[in-house]
């Protein structure tokens, strides 16, 4: 309880309820009264974030666009490719007012206090994670001038091009990884992700480099290979012990609780998509991830997926059903709790990227199959982090891999479809990797009144407040990138 109260004090000290970028800072002379280690705890919780943006951007939009979830509820805009600007901008609204300004303030404090270089490196790795999630979702964003309202007096930051942002993020990861070694940082247990373990932070930095390097595959395949090679040579995650995640608790609302879990507590509308349920056929994850809404049954024969793009009227016309109680929802006995873990990057994802590197360029040993198998195994074993009831035995995984073995003739699709399954609930990453690869192959919905012409969205849209508070730079971003619409592609997502 003492730790929780301290976190509350930190967050009230460095937070603001305003949503414009002009308020994305705190006075560093005041914030420096708080230990930098406690600010790291706050920043990590802010990156995991609260119900507000996890509900709107992660679940309402990204999870249904990616056909992990489906629902007949009209306000679940991503399921039907409709546009709710406030929902679409929610991650931008929360991240700029919370982790962006906290991390910028920490960098100022670290310099003023002459903190060790590994402390600065950890802050920079978390900062890259924050900004890569933002730029992947929105494209051009305030980056170099973001979070500096008080420090530099800039209330209207420029939107930087995604190409420049990516170049800097990759450089930051490279320099951070170079100074992260072994031992424990001064953050200690205040680091609620790795408890100050420098070797794990180094592997996370390189694993992020691997992820971001692959983002360049369509726009600059030569650079993609170079960064992927650097990441592999630097040392990426090696097992589920390296997973970057926050273990939440059912603590005070908005502080320690899992934001996705808070959504499931408040909203009973999401169902498992028919697309995802069909993929999970013969998969031991199915009864762990899904349960029938009406009675909680996890019997395989009871787990039916809901088609995407329906409302209640369309469901009635299609099936004769008046509600969705017969369909599967996320398993509330295991994965929807407010004390559930929130995953930032997993070893399963890294293993699948290594498989792709082997397939494309002969890297990581040159054979994709061992990495693919390791990714499948890790994705299944990591579910035990939710609960001991989610443990999948090795023999069961072995059987699955015999039934559905790696297929060299279909390698990239198979690898990235498994990546999609492994990033369930981390829907920002599912959406980004799908745009990078085109896998899994998804059938778009054609809901009446959709705003995309029946095509799957390619990004989310900027804050409406920016048109009033930062109009010149907002318009410059739109002019450079394209219309502020769901169908506009970000820089690395070329056709």
What would the DSSP string read from start to end of 303-332?
--PBPSS--HHHHHHHH--SSSTTSEEE-T
The pLDDT, as a whole number, for residue 151 is 67
- Distance (Å, rounded) from C-alpha 466 to C-alpha 469? 5
17 close to 167: Cβ distance less than 8 angstroms: no
Closest C-alpha among 144, 133, 283, 289 to residue 215: 133
- Distance (Å, rounded) from C-alpha 463 to C-alpha 318? 37
* CB-neighbour burial class of residue 89 (10 A; exposed 0-12, middle 13-18, buried 19+): buried
- Provide the β-strand partners of residue 144: none
- Distance (Å, rounded) from C-alpha 276 to C-alpha 424? 10
Classify 2 as helix, strand or coil: helix
The vertex-142 CA angle with 141 and 144, nearest 5°, equals 125
The pLDDT, as a whole number, for residue 6 is 39
106 close to 120: Cβ distance less than 8 angstroms: no
53 close to 259: Cβ distance less than 8 angstroms: yes
E-assigned strand segments in 25-128:
69-70
Classify 116 as helix, strand or coil: coil
- Distance (Å, rounded) from C-alpha 451 to C-alpha 376? 36
Q: At what angle do helices 221-234 and 347-361 cross, to 10 degrees?
A: 130
The vertex-145 CA angle with 141 and 151, nearest 5°, equals 145
The model's pLDDT over 195-235, given as tens digits with 9 standing for 90+, comes to 999 999 999 999 999 999 999 999 999 999 999 999 999 99
Classify 184 as helix, strand or coil: strand
Cβ atoms < 10 Å from Cβ of 209: 26
- Provide the β-strand partners of residue 328: 292
How many helices and strands, by DSSP H and E, does the chain display? Answer: 24, 8
Residues of the chain scoring pLDDT < 70: 1-33, 149-151, 153
The pLDDT, as a whole number, for residue 153 is 66
Length of the chain in terms of residues written: 495
């Amino acid at each position: 309880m003492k730790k929780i109260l301290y976190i509350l004090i930190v967050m009230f000290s460095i937070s603001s309820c305003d949503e414009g970028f002009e308020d994305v800072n705190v006075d560093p002379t005041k914030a420096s009264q708080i230990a930098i280690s406690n600010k790291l705890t706050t920043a990590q919780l802010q990156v995991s974030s609260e119900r507000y943006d996890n509900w709107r951007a992660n679940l309402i939009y990204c999870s249904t666009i990616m056909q992990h979830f489906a629902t007949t509820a009209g306000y679940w805009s991503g399921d039907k490719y409709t546009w709710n600007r406030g929902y679409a901008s929610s991650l931008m609204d929360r991240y700029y007012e919370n982790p962006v300004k906290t991390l910028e303030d920490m960098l100022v404090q670290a310099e003023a206090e002459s903190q060790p270089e590994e402390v600065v490196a950890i802050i920079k790795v978390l900062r890259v994670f924050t900004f890569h999630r933002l730029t992947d979702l929105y494209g051009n964003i305030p980056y170099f001038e973001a979070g500096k309202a008080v420090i530099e007096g800039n209330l209207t930051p420029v939107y930087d091009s995604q190409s420049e942002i990516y170049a800097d993020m990759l450089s930051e990861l490279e320099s951070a990884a170079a100074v992260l070694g072994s031992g424990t940082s001064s953050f200690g247990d205040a680091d609620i992700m790795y408890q100050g373990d420098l070797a794990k932070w180094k592997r996370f930095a390189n694993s992020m480099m691997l992820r971001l390097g692959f983002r360049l595959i369509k726009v600059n395949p030569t650079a993609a290979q170079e960064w992927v090679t650097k990441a592999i040579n630097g040392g990426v995650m090696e097992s589920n012990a390296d997973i970057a995640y926050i273990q939440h608790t059912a603590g005070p609302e908005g502080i320690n609780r899992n934001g996705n879990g808070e959504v499931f507590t408040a909203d009973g509308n999401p169902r498992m998509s028919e697309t995802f349920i069909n993929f999970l056929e013969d998969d031991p994850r199915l009864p762990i991830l899904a349960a029938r809404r009406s009675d909680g049954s996890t019997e395989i024969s009871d787990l039916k997926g809901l088609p995407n793009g329906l409302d209640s009227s369309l469901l009635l016309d299609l099936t004769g059903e008046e509600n969705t109680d017969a369909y599967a929802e996320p398993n509330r006995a295991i994965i929807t709790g407010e004390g559930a873990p929130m995953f930032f990057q997993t070893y399963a994802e890294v293993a699948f990227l290594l498989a792709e590197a082997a397939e494309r360029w002969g890297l990581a040993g040159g054979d994709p199959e061992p990495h693919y198998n390791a990714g499948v195994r890790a994705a299944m074993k990591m579910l035990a982090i939710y609960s001991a009831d989610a443990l999948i035995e090795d023999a069961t995984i072995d059987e699955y891999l015999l039934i559905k073995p790696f297929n060299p003739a279909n390698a990239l699709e198979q690898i990235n479809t498994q990546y999609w399954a492994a990033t369930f609930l981390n829907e920002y990453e599912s959406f980004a990797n799908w745009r990078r690869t085109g896998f899994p192959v998804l059938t778009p919905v054609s809901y009446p009144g959709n705003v995309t012409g029946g095509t799957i969205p390619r990004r989310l849209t900027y804050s409406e407040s920016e048109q009033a508070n930062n109009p010149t730079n907002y318009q410059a971003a739109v002019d450079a990138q394209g219309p502020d619409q769901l169908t506009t592609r970000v820089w690395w997502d070329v056709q």
